[in-house]
Structure formats: C-alpha cells, structure tokens
Structure 1
Amino acid sequence: MSYNEKPRVPRRKRTVPELPDGFVSRPRLLNALDRAAPEAATMVCAPAGSGKTLVLAEWLRSGGLGSAAWLSLDAADNNVHRFRSGLLDALAPAAPGLHDFDADSPSFLADLVDALDTLPEPLRLVLDDVHELVATEPLRDVEQLLRLRPRGLRLVLSTRWDPPLPLARLRLSGRLADLRSEQLQFRPDEAAALLTAEGVTIGPEQVDRLVTRTEGWASGLRLAAETLKGGAEFTGADPTVSAYLVDEVLAPLSEEERQFLREISVCESVSASLATALSGRADAGEVLTHLEHRTAMLFRTGAGRRIYRLHTLLRAHLLTDLMLRTPRQVPALHRRAAEWLRARHQAGDAVSHALEAGDAALVADLLRRHALDLLLAGEHDVLRRARAALSDEVVGDDPWLALTGALEYLDAARPGAARAQVTLAERAWPREPSRELHALRGLVDSRFAHAAGALEGDIDAVAEQGSALSAMTLLESGQALLAAGRAVEARRPVESALAFARAHGHGHLEQQCLTALAGVAAATGDFRAMAALAHDADQLAETHGWRDTVAGAKTSLLLACGALLRADASACLAQIDRVTGVLATTDALGQAGLTLLTATLEGTARFDGGQRSAGLRRMTDARLAEGPAPLPDGVVALAAVCEHDAATRLGRGETARDVLTWARERIPSAAEILLIRAGTQVVLGRDGHARNLLRPLLDGAVDPVLTWTPVTAWLLEAEIALRCGEDVRARRAVAKALGPAERLGVLRPLVTAAPEVLDLALLDVPGGHRFTTDLRQARAVRGRQPDAVALTERERTVLRLLPTVRSLDEIAGDLMVSPNTVKTHVRALYRKLGVGSRREAVRSAVRRGLVDS
C-alpha cells in the first residue's frame, strides 16, 4: 500500500496539542526531558490525568533540539496499516521522502530507519497513549524503532502503564529513560500556581494538605479547584473525582478486578499474602502485578518493592463504593486484616483494623498482648483510640489492661486518669498475681513515686528479662536513680534499655533512653555529650512526630539547658516554646521539678535577652507556685542561682533574700548556698566577707550540685581581686575558671561575669581556639550588660515613681515621708546609677531592667 493509498489520519491526531489558558509550566520536567541521552528513547508513564500530554506538548512547542512530530494513538491504531499511516503522516513534514513508502512492504521499518538516519537535524517524535496498543504488529513496530534507534530520531512514548515491550533490557543498556508518576506529581509551589490559575487562592498549609490528599495528581488538583471555587471543602470523595476515576481508571477493568480493588482498599497497603487473605484469591499476587501495570494508580513500595499501595483518591473512592455496595462486608474485611496482621506481630495496624471492625473483644485481646510494645513504639494515637473503645467494665475485669492503661496515661502526664486505672486494677486484683503482673504493678507504683519526687532510685525489677516490661523497668530505674542524684549508677540500666529498644525497633523507647542518657551526661558535667544525645533524641522525635509529646518536651528541656549554657538565649527560648506547648495540654510533665525547671530556663533566657524584669518575674512566680513536694537538688540549685543572680542585678533585695531562704531549706549543705551569699556580699561591696564565703567552695571543701558552680565561684573571686587591685590574683582566678569551663563546654558563667572579668578572660584564652571563638561570639551577641546595683526597698519604691509626671513633693506625699527624705533617696539613686538627672536615671533604670519600659 503506497502513501497515496493508505488510510487518511485526522489532522488532530498528528498535531501537537495547544496549551490551554491558565496552563502552568513546570521547567523541572522540561529539563528532565532535555537531559535524556540523545540516543535513548524516553517513556513517560503515569495514570490518566497526570498531565503527561500537556508536559510533552509544551516540550515540543518550546523549540530547540530539532523539529517535532506528534501522533496520538487510539484503539483503531491496533490495525497495523492505520498505525503505519499515522506514523508516516506525523513524520512526513520533517522527512518528505516518506511519501513514497509502502506501508505493506516487508522492509517498511528498515526503510523508515534508513530515512530517519539521514535527516539533517534531530527529530523528536511523541507517541501519545501507547497503552492503547495491544495488537502484536504495531507493538512490534514500536519495539523495532526502540531497538534500531535511528540516529535522527528522539522517540518519546507516553502511556498510562508499561506497554508489553522489552523495557527492562532497554533500561539496563541505557537506551530508555523514564519519567514516571512520582516525577509528574505537582509539588506545593506548582500546585499553588495551578490553583491560582484556576482562580483559587489558599494559604501554604492548605496547599500542602491538598497536595498530600491528591498526591500531586494534576486532575485531582483541578477537580479540587472546582470544588473550592464552589465554596465546599475538598474531601477526596467528591462525586466529580469518583466520576473521573470510574471513567478513566476503572472502566477498562473487569468487574472481578474492580471487586478485588474494593476488597484490598480497606488497607492502606497490602502484600500479596494480605491481598489473598482479604480477597480469598490464591492468585492475588499475579492480580496485583497485572493491575499495577494496568492502572498506574497501584504502586509498589517498601523494601524489595513487595508492598502495594493504592493512590489515596482511588482508595477513598473504592472504600466508599464498597460500603455502599456491601456494607456488611466492610467489618468482616477489617477483621480478616486484623487477624492477619496480629499473626505477623504488626500490632499497631492490627488494633486499627480491629477498631474499624468494631470488635471490642479483639481490641481488648490485642491490647492485653501488645499494649506495652505499642507504648514503646510510640503508637500513641492507636492506644488512645483503643482505650476509648473499651468500656470500664471490660478494663475493670482485667488488671493487666488497667495497669497498662495507667502507664499510657502517665506517659501522657495525666496522673488523674492513671489513678483511676489503678483503682480498677485493685478491684480485680487476683489473690495470686503472676510474676509479670506483680512487676507491672511495681513499675506503675514507681512511676507515680518518681513523678512525686519521692523515689530513692531502687526498683525491684522482677519482670522476665528481655521483655518489653523489663525494658521499661530498666529505663524507669535509670531515671529514678538520676532524679535521686545517682547519675553514674543510672547509666547502666538505661543503656540496657536502649539496646533492647534498638534490637526490637521500639523508636519511642529509644528516644526516651537517649534523653535519659543526655540527663546523665548533664549530671556528670559532660555537656557536649548531653547536647549530642539530646540532638539524636530530638531527631527521632521529629521523624516520628513525637516533639509534642511529654518525652519530646523532656528532650527539648535538655536542648534548652544546653543552649542556655552556651549563652544562646534565643535558641533556649525556641526549645522552651515547645515545652510550654506540651505543658498547656497536660497536668504536668509527669516528673517533679520539670515545671520549675522550664520556668527557670525561660526566665533566665529572657533575662539574658534583655527582658530583665519579665525574666525575673517568670522565675519568681514559678518558685512561689511550687508546692511542698520534694524537688531534685539540681533543679533547686539551678532555680536558686539563676533567680538570685537576676534579683541581685536588678536590686531586688527582698526577692534575693527569699530565694536564699527557699534554697537553704532544700539544699542546706550545697556549695551553691555559699555562692549565692557571696554574690550578695560582692554587690554590697563587702569583699572580705565574700571571700570568706567563697573559700570552702574554691578549696573543694563543699560539694556543688551544679558542675559549673566552681567556674562561677572563681570568676567572682577574680572580680573581687580586680576591685582590690590584685591583678595577678585575678588572672590566676580566671585561669582556674577557664579550664573547667572549656572542659565542660559552658560559656554563660563567663559571658555573665563582670565586664572587666570577661575582658581578662578573653585576654587569657588561647587565640584561634574553638572555645575562644565561641566565647567571643557569645559576648558579641549579648553585648556588655550593666553592672548590678544594690538598692534599698525604699530606693526601689522611689525609682518606680520617677518615670511618672509627679513632682518630688508629690512623691513624698504619696509615700507619706518628707520631701527631704525623697531627695536623699534620689541623690543615692543618681550616685548608684552613675547619672546626674531624673531623665537619665529613668533611662538607666529601664536599660538595667530595674523598671519596666
């Protein structure tokens, strides 16, 4: 059949499609097409509605890389004569000699390849909708073009699924490049541009949610835009989406295949074995493979690519369709999935399906066996939903269920709810509890005691070794020892729990162990290790979405502490913001002193950052709110030292005295008591008395609670020496401070020291050293802070009235004292602030934080 006798092909089939109004260009896809090797063909494979045709149309219309040809295929092209006629029509404008070709000639392909080899410039040919080809002869022609690779031809195949061609061999030899659905998915910025072009403007978070819900599917986004323009919320189960999926994705499938997809849609992902359990089909694996190629909306995922996942929108449609067609089948399928998953120790997913099945007995049985594993794995949402599905009667009949519930509530810092679970357990307590039940009760009691600060660190761990309960007991033992001030002993049990967590893939337990080990490092003065361990714990929390949990808050507290010791107030406050967010939704952080610790870190960081009055107020309010419950010595020492220092610098003598009294009641023999008292004497100018107080601390005769307290003490000694003109003694004291400060990795005591002491320290540290660089940077960020000022209570009262418009006589009347008394106080204020006028006094007081701005 000659060219003039061949079937005529409609012009629209061989014309590059026009780009519609509002088309959104995606340069990254054009670049991907351009980057393919000139000798390689390209296959663009993605589901219907992914934007394949328009991307390729833009690529051809963008110019460059030679001339272009286009052929849209349909079912009629399974007739080889029609296919070849279309091919010749598409290529003829670039190769006029093709007019003389005989489509029936045995040498048709060879002649065509020879003709294309002689083209003066490259020719890009797009065969669109190759999935329409099912007949042997046209597919053989395409295969020959791929195999023979004419030098003048750049062939691009566009298809909804992989055609039956030797693609693997072509890929292996580097003769086939791929552009698949994952690359064609719209990214958030592209989706925002598409929505804007469709007349829809929404915020970035809404765009992100829409991209997640549609998986970046172009048609899904356009259908969503139509829904949003109508004022409705896009759920993914919209009638327009369903109609599109039925017409474009499901219509080519048989009813048996559609039913198979409906049945597996109850699961987010399936293996061949799970699909067999759901559908009852022994050939489920083969069906999955077939449908993966046939729909391109069923994807392989996971290690070894043995797991299949339906596109989110397709799964939503199928599940809705299943519930409408056979509503009774849905719970039965969920129950089958739960049993299959339970047999394979996938407890979290098994519980989720048991809940969907509405099978409370199955949920209870799964929790009985797996609640601790789920808790250690961080499956908090599954546990919450499961608990909500169980009545008090079910839980009350089973002390194990009740006690595991208590642990869950304690983990979420809900002690009241945990107590209620313990009460249920006590009512059903057996006369002869098993070893494991007894161990579980011991763990729960220990957690309560730990939270109340009444634990000495010794726990009777009687659980079976190598069990989830044993691992939890080890962690609790380590945390209790740490809280009791026995940090060195705490390391071993926590490390054992960490090994168990990593061996069994219990990520949440791993995060908790890393946080506990960071606490051990902090207690032993290894703040670099603390920062590294807390960072690792935080990475786990970020990966799994645990930052907003109690465990995540404890990790953030350690990171905040590390930032404060590095004199990085802004980083400290960023971590504290996370902690306060958790505190707002829980009874407490589930451990004595953590609320006070949070307030101390926040208040100190605010003070260091310039919010001096607000920072001190935050610390004072938190201390006053603390009840009589015992507190860890470390928390007491940190709170006392930080609040007293702030109060002293702001001249709040009464607050400073209150802090000292509070600390003496709790840590009477700690070195920090001497440090606080010495600091007060330095501000009052009583250097001799201050030195007498510091001497036992500097000689090592008293033990500090905070490992950096000796650093602060030596810096205070240096300040006294400089004031006394003892420069050599001052330099010796600074050297004594620099050694442990560098070893510990703490900068704040140096940065907050008297300016002249810090200047001396910067002269004495070796140049080019990392510690030196960090110290200089921290000093530059903080700036030179004003000296502390010792004010009497009456002077502070007068100072608070100076910013008002009242005269000194009026102030005297308000205070019921003589004008001369007020003038005496004002002169004292001027002298102490180093100013000469009322306006300068107010400015200096605001800068120092003595009055609010």
Structure 2
Amino acid sequence: MTVQPHRDLYVLLDGVVAGAVPGRVLLCAPAGTGKTALLGDWLAGPGGNERPAVAWVTLDAADDDPEVLEAGLGAALRCLVSLVLPDTNLQDVSVLDCLRSVRESGRSAVLVLDDAHVLTAPESLRKLACLLDAAPPNMTVILAARNPPELPWVKYIADGSLTVIGWEDLALDRDAAAAIFAENRCELSTQELDAVLELTAGWAVPLRVAAIRISAVGDVPSGVGDVLRYPQPLSDYVVGETVSALPDHLLRFVESTSIVDRFSPELAACLDDANVDLALAERERFCVPIQRFTSADGLTYAWHPLLRAHVRSKLRVTDPDRLARLHAAAGSWFAGSRQPIAAVEHLLAAGDDLAIVDFVYSHGVTAVFDGQGAAILELLGERHSDKRGVRLVRSLEALERNYADAARAHHSTAFAADVVALRPEIAKAFAAALGVEIAVLSGQPMPTDGDVLSDLQIATGIADLDCYVTIQRAAVCMFTRDLIGSERLLRQALAFADIGAHPRLVLRCLARLSIVAGIRGDLVTMTTRAEHALQYAVDHAQLDRIDAFQCVAAVCMDRYLRCEGLPDDSPVYALVFGPGLHQRPDGTTAPVSGGHAEVAFAILEARRSPIPTVDDADAVGRSLIGMLTRGAQAGLSNTFVTPAVAVLLDAGRPAFAGEVVDTAHRVFGENPDVRVARAMISVAQGDSASARDLLDSVLEASEFLHPPLGVRASMLSAVVAHRENRSAEAALAVRRALELAEPNGIVSPFVDSAGDAAELLAGLPPGADHTRAFLDHVQAKLVESNEGRNPGLTRSEKVILAELRTGKPLRAIAQQLHLSLNTVRTHTRNVYRKLDASSRAEALEVAARRRLL
C-alpha cells in the first residue's frame, strides 16, 4: 500500500526540528486519518546525516503506569543518546542526563510518542509534562494521539513552542485520492471522485475502504453509488471508535446536531439543551472531527460527513421517534430563519403531514416571493400535491411567472382537494386573494360576491400573507372604481413592511399606489410614486419583478405624454430594453415585463424618431393586441389604445390601426377610448363627419375621461372644426385641450396633430384656461419633436403643396384656385422654405418622406 505524501506537512515538521526552541508537536486526529503513516514517511525521507536522530515509542495501556512509562521513556532517550553520541557510556544514565547529552551533542533529535492518548493517570501525565519542559532546544517531542492528553497546552501555545496538526491537515487532496483509487484499479470520473471526497472529507482509511469496495463491485458507477448510498461500512470502524469514547451528554449533543448538514450555535441550542459553547469545547478534548464555515451570516459548524452518516444511521434504528422530533424541530427553526428549502427537507424527514401543511400556509407566500417556490414544490412532489395549501402555492408560483391559465387551474382544483390545516381561515384568505390576482392578470371581472369579500377581511397573523390579502382587497376596489378605498387599503398593506413584510410585497404596494394615481388622472403623482418605487426596487434587489416593470411603464408613458425621451444611459432605459420573453408549458411566450410594460416600452421606442418606422409601429400594434387578448383590465389597459393608434397612423399603417381598434372593441365594447381611436382613423382618412360624430359622443357624455384621452378628444375636435372652417368652435376646443393638458404637462396629442395644431395654436392668446408658458412649451415641442415633419404649414400652403404634386404650372394653379399668381408664388416660396427644399421636385420628395401628402 503506497503512502500518499503530505509534502507541506513534511516542510512544516522540518521547520519545527530546525527551530531554535524545543519543538513540541501535537498530532491529534481520529483513528484512520494517517497519523502514523505521516510520521513514518516523513522520518524515512531523504537527507542522510542531516536527518535528525529518531527514537519512536508506541504507547499502550500498560504505559499509563508511571514507573512503566518512566522506564520506557528512559530506554527511548538512551537510544537517542547512542545515536547522537555513539561512544557514551549509557549504564545507569537518568532521563535528565540523557537530555543533557542530547543538548551537548548539538545534533537534532526527535522523540515520537505514538498513541499518547492512552496516558490518563495524573502521575504519568506529570512525568510526560516534565519531559516536555526539560527537552533541549535541539530536541523535538512529537505526540501522536486520537485525543489530546491533559497537558499544559496553553503554556506551550503561549511560549510559541507548540505546533498542532489536526485531522483537516491530514486530509488527502484530489490527487492523493485519485492515486488510491488507481492503486485499486478504479478510474473514477471527476464527478464520482468529488462525491466520494465530499463523503470522506479526505479521511485516509475510509478512502481506502471505499476504493476496495468499488474495486470489488467491478462496475465503478455502481460501486460509487453503493458507497454513497450505504456509507456505514466506511464509517463504522473509523467513527464508531470515536463515538463510543464520548460521554453521554456530548454524544447526545453530537446526535442532535448531526441531523442537519450544518449548524449554527442558535440551531444547536434549538436541537439540544446542552450549553453549546461548552459542548464544542469538550468536542475539542475528545477530538471529534468537525468542519467550520465562515460566511456573511456568521460561523457555522458541520460534523464530518461520515460521522453524520454514522450517527443518523444509528438513530434511525435505535430511536426513530427522537429522530423524527429532531427533524421537526430543525424544520421549524429553518422555517423561522427564512430557509424554506431546508425547512421542507426536515419536515419531510419528520413525516408530519400536518406540519408540512402548516408550513405551506405560514411560509409558502414568502418562499415564492424569495424565488424558492418551484424548488419547494418539487420537494413536496406528488405525495403532497393533493393538499389544498400546496395547490394554492402552485397557483401563486404560476402567477409569479405571469401564467394566469396555470394559476387558474391550480386554484380551481384546490377547492376540491382535501383541506388539512391548523387554521382553515388561512386557506380561505389565501384562496380569495389568489382569485383576485388571477382576475387581474387574466382580465376577468373582479370577484365581488359576499363570500370572497368576507374571506379577504380575514387577518391571518402572518405578515406576508396579510399584506398579500390586503393588496388584493385594494385591487378589487381599484378595478371597481373605488379609488379612495383602494389607496386606503394599499397604505394599510404598506404598514406590514414595519413587521417584516417581503420587499416584493412592499414594491407591489408602491407600484399599485402609482397605478391608482394614474387611473385617477393624477399623472404627476403617478410618476413621482413610480420613481420612488423604482428606487425601492434598486435598494432591495427587486428590479427583476413585474411590479418594477410596471413602474417603468408608468415613467415611460409619462415621458411619452410629455414628448420627452429616455437617455440611453438611463437605468430606466436599461430596464426597458433588458427583459425578454419567457416560454409557457404550451410553447407560447409572454413578456417577462408584463403586457402593459411591453406596450409602453414599444410606444416609447417608436417615438424615439420623428416618424416611427413600420417595424417599430407594428411592434406597438402586436404588443397591444397581445396584451388585450392575454388579459386586459378595463380602467388600465384601455389607456394604451389611442397612443398605439397614433403611432400606427403616424407610420402610415391605418389598416393595422383599425385592427387594433377592432380588438379593443371586442374587449372593452364601444367605450370612450375605442370611439376616440376610431375618430383618429377617420381624421387621418379625411372623414371629418364621422370623426365629429364620434368625438361629440365622447365629449358630451357625463362619464369621466382620463386626462390624456380628454386632451386628445378635445384636440381632435379642434382639428375637425378647423378643417370644416368652424373657427370659433376650433378655438374653443383647443383652449379646452390646453386647459386639460397643462396640470399634467400633456403634450403628445398636440404633437400627434402637429400640422393642424401649429395653425390652431399660432397667435392664440393666453386665457384663463391656460398659461402663456404652457402654450409656448407646446409650440416648442411641436418643432422639437417633429423636426419639420409638420412644419407649421398653413392651410393655404397645404393646398398649394397638394397642387404642386399635380405637376401643373403655377399660373394654372392660380387660375384654378382663383388666386393671383403672386399669391401662389409667395405660398410656394414659404413651402420650399419650411421644407428646406430648393425645387418643386425636392419639396415633393421631402413632403412624401414626411407623410405630408
């Protein structure tokens, strides 16, 4: 059997021997870790006469007699003297005389006392301590032991003479382990070798036993699987001896804490009533192998994997009830520490179905929002899939993936499943809240029957669940137009943040408050709240949540309404163009950012250029139709219809705009947004009469008009009146549009009708309904946002432009229009100047490119 070298330890020991002070080495590790092999290989190394003189004593129980020990030490020291001073007369030489002779020789000497743990008698330990204290500077005493003898170790540590080598230092590395398996004709893959190393932690004898077992099986993968599944043959010899030597209270502590892979002092105290610090200190005295891990959460411990396997196996046979209780206690502790995966693993091991159901209701919401819902559901598997709480958690997990159909399926079957819960009212509140969110996501009517509303009033005492339920109560109010009640409930839900509600839920409260302000028509507050929510999302690592994207969408729509773009280096811009699609089980896809955000992002992208490209405009139309068909909510989704139609008309896509309006009609009916969108298409097609009828039906109705829609309807009404030469009505309508637009800084409806707006606003004096500053701002945006696309051509100049396209000479145009030739020439020069053209052909080319014809 080849000994695997520890060259780093050889260097360490060489340094101790060469030191200027007496060397004291404690080589302390359990059986089978390679203590004796290490020392033998080191002492047999190359070096010739430069190697130290060595005396080796293997102690046994008889040496615990002080007289026997003294005789044995004397014989060993006389052997050393004979090596360093060959001509010395050793008859009747005392131990002190031997030590004096070693000093005088000047040659390095090593005295190895193997199995020093057998020395327990006080007088024997005193004699050993005297030897250590009297050793000369050129002598090193090495004690190899399974646990440290009771010697004054603190004194040796303090004077810097003690070197300690533990089991971790003796652990074999990957190369050494691979060599052992190769020696036994086993070629393990990287993954197989890692698995065996993880189990043995490099413990030499278990590694050799594993190599022998795998070699005997013949098939390496099967042999490795057998070793990993049934490690007891590896652990019984090397661990059994360690465990059998422990006092009862320490053994109980080891058993209790072995049911977890790692334990903190707090978890250990939960599993065992022993003093944790004292137990760990006593563990040192008995040299029970332990691993230490330092992380941001503090120091944790883990017993050696083989020790854990050994103790767990023993408990499983001798005291299964205690094992179940320990797993249940560990599951409860991990649940309270927000480590749901570990909690479920231990609760499953405990086999308590009621505890699992209670965990699902008490911690399932938090686990899903922590991103661990799928992993927990996989652990629970089919065995617990029929439980109502598990199905409700599946529904919430589907909602988090924006998959309303799957959420509805799990939610509906949960009512047919068995209800086993410590508090049934929790199940009612959770189910009712999920039903509301499913309706929100899928665009279904809000559930408003008495039982649902009653269940949404239940207080569960679980911060995350109470916050979630309150948010869904607010959603019912929001989409049934009780905006005051919705805002009040959302503020109540925010209060749960003070008692530890999940940041995901706090973000949702902030996002919904922004949406309520937007539905109410207070766009300034909407944007302010959205920006505050986004900062919260940044601070709490929640930017990947759909609520953050909804806030980005609010900011985007605010920028669109104000005709302001997003800088490329804006963090909001990065969010707009960062998310992609996620695939559903049926192969279809949905935007990660959610439907509303996808539409808002597409509109903002299309508006980055003065004239939207066909591709950008079509992306707006597709995203809106997708959102409307996947799950639109009246009061929110409808606000995107007219901005999307404006983009499509601007890009010369009236047919697609009509398709969008038809889809919106199927979803919302002939509501104001649909009628105004139809009027936009009619205006673009020159059908003023149809547009007038549609707009009058909107403006004369008593129902609330969202501010951007009210501004657009008034502005379109002004355009229609202007084209029909009803100047007074046009002026009144444009004033009404300015009055509605100014409080929220709405500009886009004016820009979307820029050619007509330029004429309507030109020379318009300020009135009580709007300020000069806002009027100037709108006029500046007409120029800035359109870059001459609608360059303020007057009605007469537009007529001349249209006639220029016929190819007629100016004189013929003048005769046809009953104008003087000079007047036609003046209008033509103005058209050329405003289009930055120098000829008729160039003017017509520019006008065609800018869609002025």
Which TM-score bucket, shorter chain as reference? Answer: 0.5 to 0.7
Tell me if the contact between 2:117 and 2:148 (Cα under 8 Å) persists in the aligned partners: yes
In the alignment, which of 48, 73, 80 is matched to residue 31 of structure 2? 48
Q: What is the CA-CA distance between 1:291 and the residue it aligns to?
A: 3.9
Tell me if the contact between 1:592 and 1:630 (Cα under 8 Å) persists in the aligned partners: no
Indicate the residue corresponding to 2:396 in structure 1: 407
Closer, same or farther: CA 305–293 of 1 in aligned 2, 3 Å = farther
Q: What is the CA-CA distance between 1:242 and the residue it aligns to?
A: 3.6
Closer, same or farther: CA 260–470 of 1 in aligned 2, 3 Å = closer
Tell me if the contact between 1:334 and 1:353 (Cα under 8 Å) persists in the aligned partners: yes
Tell me if the contact between 2:394 and 2:407 (Cα under 8 Å) persists in the aligned partners: yes
Pair member with larger Rg: 2
> 1:554-596 CA deviation, whole Å, 9 max, x = no partner?
99x95xx9xxxxxxxxxxxxxxxxx99x9698978974469xx
Closer, same or farther: CA 274–478 of 1 in aligned 2, 3 Å = closer
In the alignment, which of 533, 539, 545 is matched to residue 493 of structure 1? 533
> 1:763-784 CA deviation, whole Å, 9 max, x = no partner?
xxxxxxxxxxxxxxxxxxxxxx
Alignment of 1:75 with 2:68, yes or no, is: no
> 2:115 & 2:135 partners in 1: Cα distance?
21
Q: Give the counterpart letter for 1:701 in structure 2.
A: S
> 1:138-184 CA deviation, whole Å, 9 max, x = no partner?
43344334444521113333322333222233223322223322232
Tell me if the contact between 1:88 and 1:98 (Cα under 8 Å) persists in the aligned partners: no
Which SS does the other structure have where 2:113 is aligned? strand
Indicate the residue corresponding to 1:473 in structure 2: 505
Tell me if the contact between 2:549 and 2:593 (Cα under 8 Å) persists in the aligned partners: no
Tell me if the contact between 2:81 and 2:102 (Cα under 8 Å) persists in the aligned partners: no
> 1:310 & 1:639 partners in 2: Cα distance?
61
Alignment of 1:227 with 2:174, yes or no, is: no
In the alignment, which of 324, 336, 351 is matched to residue 331 of structure 1? 324
Closer, same or farther: CA 277–383 of 1 in aligned 2, 3 Å = same
Alignment of 1:29 with 2:18, yes or no, is: no
Closer, same or farther: CA 62–136 of 1 in aligned 2, 3 Å = same
Query: What fraction of aligned residue pairs are identical, expressed as a percent?
Result: 22
> 1:103 & 1:289 partners in 2: Cα distance?
44
> 1:97 & 1:116 partners in 2: Cα distance?
11
> 1:704-730 CA deviation, whole Å, 9 max, x = no partner?
xxxxxxxxxxxxxxxxxxxxxxxxxxx
> 2:107 & 2:232 partners in 1: Cα distance?
49
Q: What is the CA-CA distance between 1:92 and the residue it aligns to?
A: 4.0
> 2:645 & 2:391 partners in 1: Cα distance?
42
Q: What is the CA-CA distance between 1:50 and the residue it aligns to?
A: 1.9
In the alignment, which of 272, 283, 286 is matched to residue 294 of structure 1? 286
> 1:709-755 CA deviation, whole Å, 9 max, x = no partner?
xxxxxxxxxxxxxxxxxxxxxxxxxxxxxxxxxxxxxxxxxxxxxxx
Stretch moving more, 324-333 or 301-310: 301-310
Closer, same or farther: CA 237–636 of 1 in aligned 2, 3 Å = farther
Closer, same or farther: CA 592–121 of 1 in aligned 2, 3 Å = same
Q: CA RMSD in A?
A: 5.5
Tell me if the contact between 2:206 and 2:235 (Cα under 8 Å) persists in the aligned partners: no
> 1:111 & 1:198 partners in 2: Cα distance?
50
Tell me if the contact between 1:292 and 1:298 (Cα under 8 Å) persists in the aligned partners: no
TM, length-normalised to structure 1:
0.53
Alignment of 1:370 with 2:363, yes or no, is: yes
> 1:305 & 1:128 partners in 2: Cα distance?
37
Matched ranges for 1:181-580 at <5 A: 181-229=167-215, 230=217, 231=219, 232=223, 233=225, 234-235=227-228, 237-245=230-238, 248-253=241-246, 258=251, 261-269=254-262, 286=278, 289-298=281-290, 309-338=302-331, 349-375=342-368, 379-380=372-373, 383-384=376-377, 388=381, 394-395=387-388, 405-411=394-400, 415-423=404-412, 424=414, 425-426=431-432, 429=452, 431-434=454-457, 439-441=467-469, 460=490, 462-463=492-493, 464-469=496-501, 471-476=503-508, 490-496=530-536, 525=567, 527=569
> 1:750-806 CA deviation, whole Å, 9 max, x = no partner?
xxxxxxxxxxxxxxxxxxxxxxxxxxxxxxxxxxxxxxxxxxxxxxxxxxxxxxxxx
Which SS does the other structure have where 1:235 is aligned? helix
Which SS does the other structure have where 1:296 is aligned? coil
> 2:586 & 2:14 partners in 1: Cα distance?
55
Tell me if the contact between 2:497 and 2:506 (Cα under 8 Å) persists in the aligned partners: no
Q: Give the counterpart letter for 2:4 in structure 1.
A: V
Q: Give the counterpart letter for 1:128 in structure 2.
A: D
> 1:392-445 CA deviation, whole Å, 9 max, x = no partner?
77536xxxx866554344446665543345444148846253376674146579
Alignment of 1:158 with 2:144, yes or no, is: yes
Tell me if the contact between 2:110 and 2:141 (Cα under 8 Å) persists in the aligned partners: yes
Which SS does the other structure have where 2:454 is aligned? coil
> 1:584 & 1:265 partners in 2: Cα distance?
41
Tell me if the contact between 1:124 and 1:154 (Cα under 8 Å) persists in the aligned partners: yes
> 2:551 & 2:41 partners in 1: Cα distance?
55
> 1:7-30 CA deviation, whole Å, 9 max, x = no partner?
xxxxxxxxxxxxx43x33233333
Q: What is the CA-CA distance between 1:115 and the residue it aligns to?
A: 2.4
In the alignment, which of 626, 631, 638 is matched to residue 598 of structure 2? 631
> 1:184 & 1:583 partners in 2: Cα distance?
50
Structure 1: gaps (5+ residues): 1-19, 449-456, 502-507, 535-553, 562-578, 595-627, 646-655, 675-695, 704-853
Indicate the residue corresponding to 1:826 in structure 2: none
Q: Give the counterpart letter for 1:25 in structure 2.
A: P
Tell me if the contact between 2:328 and 2:350 (Cα under 8 Å) persists in the aligned partners: yes
> 2:172 & 2:25 partners in 1: Cα distance?
20
Closer, same or farther: CA 152–513 of 1 in aligned 2, 3 Å = farther
Indicate the residue corresponding to 1:88 in structure 2: 77
Q: What is the CA-CA distance between 1:103 and the residue it aligns to?
A: 8.4
Q: Give the counterpart letter for 2:396 in structure 1.
A: L
Which SS does the other structure have where 1:24 is aligned? coil
Closer, same or farther: CA 660–46 of 1 in aligned 2, 3 Å = same
Closer, same or farther: CA 446–319 of 1 in aligned 2, 3 Å = farther
> 1:216-264 CA deviation, whole Å, 9 max, x = no partner?
2222222222232223222163342143235543343467765664444
Q: Give the counterpart letter for 1:312 in structure 2.
A: P
Which SS does the other structure have where 1:222 is aligned? helix
In the alignment, which of 116, 123, 131 is matched to residue 109 of structure 2? 123
Indicate the residue corresponding to 2:785 in structure 1: 701
> 2:531 & 2:552 partners in 1: Cα distance?
10
> 1:605-664 CA deviation, whole Å, 9 max, x = no partner?
xxxxxxxxxxxxxxxxxxxxxxx98724446887999xxx9xxxxxxxxxx976764457
Stretch moving more, 215-224 or 488-497: 488-497
> 1:367 & 1:100 partners in 2: Cα distance?
82
Indicate the residue corresponding to 1:808 in structure 2: none
> 2:570 & 2:410 partners in 1: Cα distance?
41
Indicate the residue corresponding to 1:617 in structure 2: none
Q: What is the CA-CA distance between 1:356 and the residue it aligns to?
A: 1.8
Closer, same or farther: CA 661–317 of 1 in aligned 2, 3 Å = same
Q: What is the CA-CA distance between 1:97 and the residue it aligns to?
A: 6.7
Matched ranges for 1:582-731 at <5 A: 591-592=591-592, 631-634=598-601, 661-662=618-619, 700-701=784-785
Q: Give the counterpart letter for 2:137 in structure 1.
A: R
User: Number of residue pairs matched?
Assistant: 560
Q: Give the counterpart letter for 2:38 in structure 1.
A: V
Structure 2: gaps (5+ residues): 415-430, 436-450, 460-464, 477-485, 557-564, 624-643, 652-779, 788-853
Q: What is the CA-CA distance between 1:327 and the residue it aligns to?
A: 2.9
> 1:206 & 1:487 partners in 2: Cα distance?
56
Stretch moving more, 350-359 or 203-212: 350-359
> 1:137 & 1:265 partners in 2: Cα distance?
37
Q: Give the counterpart letter for 1:71 in structure 2.
A: V
> 1:206 & 1:518 partners in 2: Cα distance?
49
Tell me if the contact between 2:57 and 2:112 (Cα under 8 Å) persists in the aligned partners: yes
Tell me if the contact between 1:50 and 1:184 (Cα under 8 Å) persists in the aligned partners: yes
Q: What is the CA-CA distance between 1:316 and the residue it aligns to?
A: 1.0
Stretch moving more, 420-429 or 160-169: 420-429
TM, length-normalised to structure 2:
0.53
